[in-house]
Chains A and B, each alone.
Chain A
């Protein structure tokens, strides 16, 4: 009998070019996404060594991290950002790589446009110089975030040097209650395993609650796998996946589509295959989540209060907690729903897809953003923006007092003009609440799109389920 294997094992085995005696492997890469921040030094390295891009046809480029999300007709104001974007333009032209430029309707956050264009496919391997590459795992694609040296390595060789990771499975069964979303699910998972819980592993997400998620929801879950420390997150492809991909510009067509689907249907973990680590959660017990500290693992149900470091027995954790609470300007025991916000950000590769826009618009419809709150909505791509506008969502947001902007990473990492001022507090749908992540001194509470919109309207963190009950 052949060995029982996991989905990760299968994709890994199908891409193995070489294995050294010590276990170091050379893995073939089917798809490479590049962006302006982590690629310039890689192209410079190629140039200095006189190397070419081995497979420009498997490489796709977009500028997203630095681009302004306000009116772009006058170009980019910031000199350094402009140089980075222009460098990407030039490198793509010189090396023959396809690029979605700033004026292209297909431009957007790399992890939004890959799936949108059908560039991301089940059973393939993908890399991108960005840790949230795990997003593409939603399609049953083995996707790794890599550093610039590895970007250069992939450009030059179309392979990646890696050792095999451990197999971990997170099973979520049951039904998500009303008002509870994929974002709450993944925050709850990170809360359960911690930010290093997945270190050294590839995580397969399984169970009825994962199956019942749309592709957008699965992307949200896989996106934050890195916040649990894992190398990649993955969901077995199924009808929902095929439905999403069918007819996308870069998806296979005709007979190729049929044979691709036949193969994709074989991509699942064998019954009885063993995992190095298994975690199970029940979706019906998940309550809307919100982070209170400066690490994504600092997460609690919205019904809870700010925790007390005095209750923490581990000294290094206690020190970290005290530091977080000082940074966040919070007192132990404060109900989370009493925390007033100044800003709200809906966007990022975690939550900027059409479904996220719809969920937030549903909350915004007919309501008003609180006077003291500045709220911005940043769609994930030009195509998401266009679709939202066709559905009239932009008008719902604008009428409710939200700012409707151009696509990009925006305040997720505050490389462009969108950033928090020192001390400002934001309800954000992005993925990291690290110190200074959204601007020096800025304070971030991670939530779902619906929770973010609800907080903007209430003026403080709030339980979406109460708003919905109104």
Chain B
């Protein structure tokens, strides 16, 4: 997994609530057996018209935001399906950090497993960042994971909360399979006890 330490990048505003995973990546693009290559289909319906041409008014199509690596958006982002293709598409496009008042649970955990940092901020801070992000490419935002701070385009600093384990994995680029396998002895011991207590589930 990619490490996440600090990121200074253009932030794109997407002031919509309940952006679901079908909006992030429609089902017809899930027929892949790879993790890569989904960036071109990210936000497909918002981004392209019926003939497949880019919609000029969609934020990520505007020249100032083409290289955005941060997305600032509305509450309940990522609701809907468990498809990890949603964070894969964001990552493949180049988005490394999403900031919103809150996120849907499965999307939240999927994103961290792909090195994408999701930050929950109070609505008024999100509104401030959206306002800042609307200034275009000169509105860069710095995210410092170690210190759990965001520096907005106006120089103002906001701090954010994060689960320490998620932070640790992200800072060190650790995938948790390796970490869990270190607990093999505990898993084996559990299995033995569990099998004795509930033999029918084996």
Contact = CB atoms under 8 A, between A and B. Distances in A.
B163 A22 contact: yes
A252 interface: yes
A131 B165 contact: no
A309 interface: no
B200 A252 contact: yes
Nearest to B175: A149
Nearest to B200: A252
B75 to A, nearest CB: 7
A133 B114 CA distance: 22
Contacts of B152: none
B163 A163 contact: yes
Contact of A129 (B82, B165, B177): B82
Contacts of B164: 22
Contact of B32 (A20, A80, A121): A80
A152 interface: yes
Given A18-B183, A131-B81, A199-B102, A149 B114 contact: yes
B142 interface: no
Nearest to A297: B18
Interface in B129-178: 163-165, 175-177
A263 B198 CA distance: 9
Interface string B77-117: 00111111001000000000000001011100110011000
Interface string A257-287: 1011001000000000000000000000000
A157 to B, nearest CB: 5
B194 to A, nearest CB: 6
Interface string A121-165: 101100001110100000000000111111011001111010100
A150 B112 CA distance: 11
Contact of B190 (A17, A66, A231, A437): A17
Interface stretch (A38-46, A170-178, A351-359, A449-457): A38-46
Contacts of A129: 82, 84
Contacts of B26: 436, 440
A256 B200 contact: yes
Nearest to B81: A131
Contact of B194 (A20, A28, A45, A320): A28
B186 to A, nearest CB: 5
B33 A84 contact: yes
Contact of A41 (B16, B34, B187): B34
A121 B15 CA distance: 43
B84 A37 contact: no
B84 A26 contact: no
Contact of B18 (A15, A84, A320, A422): A320
Contact of A260 (B30, B81, B200): B200
Interface of A: 14-15, 17-18, 20, 22-24, 26, 28, 30, 37-38, 40-41, 44-45, 49, 51, 57-58, 65-66, 78, 80-81, 83-84, 87, 121, 123-124, 129-131, 133, 145-150, 152-153, 156-159, 161, 163, 195-196, 199-200, 226, 229-231, 252, 256-257, 259-260, 263, 295, 316-317, 319-320, 323, 413-415, 422, 432, 434-437, 440-441
A156 B181 contact: yes
Nearest to B189: A17
B84 A435 contact: no
Given A153-B176, A161-B180, A435-B45, A148 B84 contact: yes
A271 B17 CA distance: 38
B74 interface: yes
A38 B35 contact: no
B202 to A, nearest CB: 8
A179 B191 CA distance: 47
Given A41-B35, A147-B113, A415-B30, A130 B23 contact: no
A383 to B, nearest CB: 23
A322 to B, nearest CB: 12
A254 B197 CA distance: 17
Contact of A145 (B33, B82, B194): B82
